[in-house]
Chains A and B, each alone.
Chain A
Amino acid sequence: MTKPLSAPKKKNPLIKSRINHVIPAIRSRAALAMSCHASQGKFVLQVCNDCKSPTYPPRDRCPKCWGELTWKTQKRSAVLLAETTIHSTNNLYFQGHLPWRIGTVLLDSGPTAFAHLHNNIKIGDKVIINIMLDRSGNPALFALPRKASANMENDYQYRQFTVSPKNRRVLISDGRNKIGQELAKALIKAGAETVYIGNSDMNLLFDDQQNFINNPKIKMIPLNLLSTKSTTKAAQQYGGKVDIVINTAYYIRSGSVAFGGKIKELQNSMDINAHGLSRLAKAFCPVLSTRSGDKERPSVAIVDLLSIFSLTGHPSYAGMAASYAARLSLINSLRSEMQKTGLKVYTILLGPIDDEWHQNILPPKITHTQIARATIESLINGQEITAVGNVAKDILSRWKIDPLLAIKEMNQ
């Protein structure tokens, strides 16, 4: 059984940290496609359009009949056939994590594959295979015990593929809003060691502030995403102490483009949503990157919570959607930038929220608790892209099938 995680030791400041090595990222285009499914937590294999055989590793044509291949969801079940524990590697990333255990699994859908192994499985066991994203952001098969057990997610190897908040120190960029506050509570519940919440105006009280201050694991810090000076100062002071940064900056105003929309609101939206993210990333990513290879206390992720309308636009929240589209674009670029450092970038796509800023929008809407829960789940499961709520899920699935049609439908 997996042991409960013990609190990481305090770092000796005289010891040089391990550099942020990553797994080499050269992959085929087909493997990249697999990683897109994996980022949404799906288990997919290519299946032949003609003979219906599933195949692995990723190919460009069916090896049985040369038909064309399509990615399809497959059964996750498999059997572990053989294994090895690697004690020697010429790769700098894995050298920091030896010994490392892998094995060959026979998937119930047919193909065999190498997989990283959870410590609780042995040869002959039926296992569950997840496609995780490795430190280079590429797809990696991970074999887990079929039956979940206590502390299962604490497995050392498995933890290299997730960004679980357990025993980690998290910074929430905006704790003045309800998303940040609910998230802080949920993170503590999920085992986070400390949650720093940013407050853009320490002199201005917010609802429930007293409760937050009373919780010894929550620390309020001055952080204003509108000010480069503020983000820089916060990073200097706390960048070395946080492992996960979650951007909850949130600015929603209604208004279309030609009629009723105000340029000033668009500017505000941009400044908080897009520039704010940039300021946060510029301040925190470099310092977090220096610790992403640390064995005891690695920095692991940047998480951004943003509107699903970043994908499609929204006719009556045009400026808001535009600023979120800019934010999503920045996040996508940041993800590839961070691939070289091993920091993961997570995107949580939110449907309309049940709050004062979405009064014109019909239900279903999502609650702050729902957002917090989905975010924690995505971190624990290592799922890089998560849509929260039925609206966000629906828009994302339409957008994946036909982005132009999804945009058209949304803007009717």
Chain B
Amino acid sequence: MFRRIAPYGTALVGAVLVTAAIALISIRFQVRGLSAFYLLLVLWLGTTWGRGPAVAGSIAAFLLYDFYFVPPVGTFEVRGQSELLELFVLLAVALVTGQLASSLRRTQSAAEALAADERAMYELATAALRSPEVTAALSLLSERAERLKGVSRFALVAMDFGRAVDLAGGEVTPDELRQAAWSYENGHPVGAAISKGAVTLMRTRPEGGGAAFLPLAGGVVVMRIEADRTDAADLRMLAALIGLAGLLLDRRRAVLEAERARGFEASDRLKAAILSSLSHELKSPIASLRAGLTALTAPQAGLQHEQRELLQDLDGQALKLDRLVGDMLALSRLEAGVELEREPHRFADLVGTALHQLHAELKGRKVKLEIADDLPPVEVDELQVGRVLTNLLENALEWAPSDGGITVGASANENRLTAWVENDGPAIAPTDLDRIFETFWTRRARGSGLGLAISKRVVEAHGGTILAENRRRGPRFTFTLPLARITAAR
């Protein structure tokens, strides 16, 4: 109360003192225009206290001058027109002076506040950016925000890959964490927002005067603001601090994501290395097993027919085990993102190689080819696509009736080559047409359940697609391969 009245008191006292001074001077000297002294007072009042006290001082000066110096002295009465004019000029000049002075004061104090804001932000930002620990910088920021008037709490919650983490600025209750997560996911501020560079409080405050939530790019600000204690400058400062917090949370997220990516990469490499070494360890004993088992099936070993058959069965099992280990390694390498050695190849050659490799399994069976002579070359990894072809052909061999046909075909448009392997075996159940490419899904007795899964990954690694469908005569597998960009060079 006193603080608000004091300027006006000062204005009155000042006006009285100036009146006394004018009176003293006019006793000894005959000077005109001493009323200008009042202007000094009004100027001072305006720059020091603002417009109100300046106006009060102007009016007081007007009245006192009228009373003491304008004839008839000792009354508020004014006789002459020139005296009246003099009085009003005094009032007008005093009012304008006060107005100018007070607006000067406002501009200056605003500039000072802005400079203070800027200095504080600068110090905070440099401290924050210099600090290697983003969390420490955020704590610093939160402390600064809580020093602002009306801000009783300023906490930061980071959203790390969908999980809310209490980072800085006092404890956040589990309930508030949930609210923060909700606010983040919906991009919906609660209780407060930022507009035109300042924090604005929403009229609909959360129930029970709870915290306000403001979502940022990498997290959420949880704060409590008492509306009646804040001023515009502090709300601007708060908005600037929130902006800085947003930047710091972004930086923190970038660091986390880089770490996570490095972790994944390392674990993929490790996985591939372990699997490779494991496969080696598994295959070496299988190699000894097969060498020993097949050694004993030679007639010179002198074993009886049944014994030889048993050994051949066991060798078949060892072979199956070997195939399974190989398939698992192939699949895990594909999943780890193996690099393809893509080169131009003629599709017919790839089919020929696959058929040559399956020579023993084919047992003289003919495979029908529908591959045009003038197909453009494909740009593929020979070994991987060879794997797809042998897998699909083995699958066809398993299901095609011994008198039924197996067909491999291909056609091309300007973008890609479409190839198919079909057999006249039983249809695949419609519900299985997609599942058939899943890992370990098999309807074959002999398969590892990995062949089609491997094929799908190989085709997709080449940017193609593979699908299974039923024709009237039996199942067909269709896949696409990219064409080579070059044309045949001699």
Partners in one complex: no
Write the residues of chain B forming the contact surface with A, with a CB cutoff of 8 angstroms: none
Point out residues on A near B: beta carbons under 8 Å.
Answer: none
